Amino acid sequence: WGLRWPRARPRSSFPSGSQLPCFHGSSTIRNLKERFHMNMTEEQLQLLIEQMVDGSMRSITTKLYDGFQYLTNGIM
């Protein structure tokens, strides 16, 4: 691919002591860390993203959604 990925992944800890209700509960912070793949190295993360993009590009549902967006909004 030769693509360069932006470093948009959060590097700081999540607000476990937050007063916001959405951060209460034992699984919320863990689920966020899993979703952002905080346990992966930059190289592992880049490989995962490339695999996700490749899978999406070959997906019939992606093609169907792209066609829908084109027909309804002129977006391609």
Task: Please write down the HEC assignment for all residues of the chain.
Answer: CCCCCCCCCCCCCCCCCCCCHHHCCHHHHHHHHHHCCCCCCHHHHHHHHHHHHHHHHCCHHHHHHHHHHHHHHCCC
Domains of the chain, by residue range, sit at 40-75
Residue 70 pLDDT more than 90? yes
Structure-model confidence comparison of residues 10 and 75, the more confident one: 75
Average pLDDT for the chain:
81
pLDDT in tens, 1-24: 455 555 555 555 666 667 788 777
